[in-house]
Amino acid sequence: MEHSSSVMYLSACNCGHKQGTREDPFTIRTANYDFYQIMANDCVCGCLDRINFPVFQPSTQDYRAAQLFAKPPVIAGRKNSAGLLHTPTQMGHTQVLSLGGVFASCHSVDPINEILGETSRNRELPDRQGLTSVELINMQKNEDTISGNQIVIRVTDTDGDTKEKSLVRQPSTTEYLPGMLHTESPNSLLPQFPSWSLVCLGSSCLYSHNIGLQETQHPGFLNSTAYLLPWDVTVRLEHHPRDRYWNSDRNKINSSPIQRGRKTKGSREFSVKIFIGVEYECPRGHRFMCSAPDKILTTAGSGIVKENGNKVSNSDMPLYFPCPCSSAPLMAQLMRIHVVTPKAPVHITLNPMVQPDENGGPIFVTGFDTPIELTQSTYWVLRLPYVYAGDRGPYLPPKEPSQNQGKLLKGVYSVAEATTDNNKLNV
């Protein structure tokens, strides 16, 4: 008989086009994979181009979970200050660790049952005095200097034959990682299923900065928060004798309407505009974007976004943020990253790393050895894990804004030279 806590939540699918109710999860697979697979059956998620994350590929029918032991030993049922539930179990049993009940206890009310009886749903932003800033415990200060609206990134083009070849480690084909992939996981093990998702919604023209995200395509967003942030990046290209790709596209750089370049001796410099969005989602299904680590994105009365993506791209972003849908503290979780790439001979790259305990502990990663390259002039949505579970159990959402909130580490976004192949893209 399956476990049930009778608590229901409202969550969006991988791409964010459809919302559905979900039960309080009792396993990592249910939380991070099965629910989104079910939602994809009734959404366009299953038909979209996507990038597949590294997972275990068995070479025999006699495969098994790797036997890993948590160190140091811990006491059953005891929580630390980060909200981590310790259980003295082998890592091989983590997948059947109950997330229900304990996960639901982080919310003082049943999020869905409380609002299903309402005759109308008011998504107007209430007075957010005291809610637009969050006290982040031991949050590292951003050491990068932001100058105006531009960040200079040097892109050096070299011939593929001259690139240093790194040692590629082959993952095990007989044993899989029973939990989630993080920086303390053995190098030779991969999980059975991905906890992340990265899908391409289509062309970059799907997003209009004058209109923002429409309710019909992205339901659940609070008023005036459904916009992406423009991020202007100056790319300085240092030319080399083997600069074949860039020389062939030189006219493309000069003629593109979204780049204005200038030549300097031995280099080329031009600007590209990228749109990024950091989306949070609360258990009631309310969604909103943040424009800074301590601020929800808002627009002027005319719907104009006056802020840019500098703070979001150059700062650690909190994993949890108070949702303004209620006066009672209800924490929303960072669930999606939106990226609209420019029409330029460069690739925007993503390298997300999440640390649920900002005081230390493992950093959860995607499993790729290098940053993920996104195709040009397209709209991408990265869905983050719903639950984070380490060797000793799941990290629980904070009940109060002042508690440990975790963070998405800065350095997620970057720019790389354009290549003609992308072997990670699947249809």
Cα–Cα distance, 107 to 321 (Å, whole number): 14
Average pLDDT, the chain: 76
The pLDDT, as a whole number, for residue 109 is 52
Question: Hey, how many other C-beta atoms are within 10 angstroms of the C-beta on 334?
Answer: 22
Say if residue 73's pLDDT is above 90. no
Mean pLDDT is highest, among 40-49, 128-137, 140-149, for 40-49
pLDDT of residue 112 exceeding 90, the answer is no
- First-to-last alpha carbon distance for the chain, in angstroms, is 36
Positive or negative, the Cα torsion across 294, 297, 301, 305?
Answer: positive
What is the residue type of 218? Answer: H
Please tell me the pTM assigned to this model. Answer: 0.78
Question: Domain map of the chain by residue range?
Answer: 198-238+268-426
Whole-angstrom Cα Rg for the chain: 22
pLDDT at 271: 87
Reply yes or no on whether the pLDDT at 310 is more than 60: yes
What tens digit of pLDDT does each residue of 138-197 get? 333 333 333 444 445 444 444 444 444 445 568 899 999 998 999 999 989 999 999 999
SS (H, E, C) the chain: CCCCCCCEEEEECCCCCCEEEEECCCCHHHHHHHHHHHHHCCCHHHHCEEECCCCCCCCCCCCEECCCECCCCCCCCCECCCCEECCCCEHHHHHHCCCCCCCHHHCCCCCCCCCCCCCCCCCCCCCCCCCCCCCCCCCCCCCCCCECCEEEEEEECCCHHHCCCCCCCCCCCCEEECCCCECCCCCCCCECCCCCEEEEEEEHHHCCCCCCCCCCCCCCECCCCCCCEEEEEEEEEECCCCCHHHHHCHHHHHHCCCCCCEEECCEEEEEEEEEEEEEEECCCCCEEEEEECCEECCCCCCCCCCCCCHHHHCCCEECEEECCCCCCCCEEEEEEEEEECCCCCEEEEECCCEECCCCCCCCECCCCCCCEEECCCEEEEEECCCCEEECCEEECCCCCCCCCCCEECCCCEEEEECCCCCCCEEC
Encoded tokens for 217: 């395509």
**Which structure tokens are listed for 347?**
């690739």
Handedness of CA 44, 45, 47, 51 (dihedral sign): positive
What is d(CA 322, CA 327) in angstroms, rounded to the nearest whole number? 10
How does pLDDT run across 3-14, given as a tens digit for each residue?
666 789 999 999
Q: How confident is the model at residue 354 (pLDDT cuts 50, 70, 90)?
A: very high
Does the bond joining 283 to the residue before it have cis omega, within 30 degrees of 0?
no
By percentage, how much of the chain surpasses pLDDT 90? 49
The residue ranking higher by pLDDT, 76 or 421, is: 421
Q: Which pLDDT does position 285 carry in this prediction?
A: 96
Question: Of residues 85 and 283, which shows the higher confidence score?
Answer: 283
pLDDT in tens, 193-247: 999 999 999 999 999 999 999 999 999 999 999 999 999 988 877 655 544 444 4
Q: Which residue has the higher pLDDT, 420 or 273?
A: 273
Higher pLDDT, 54 or 82: 54
**Does residue 79 have a pLDDT over 80?**
no
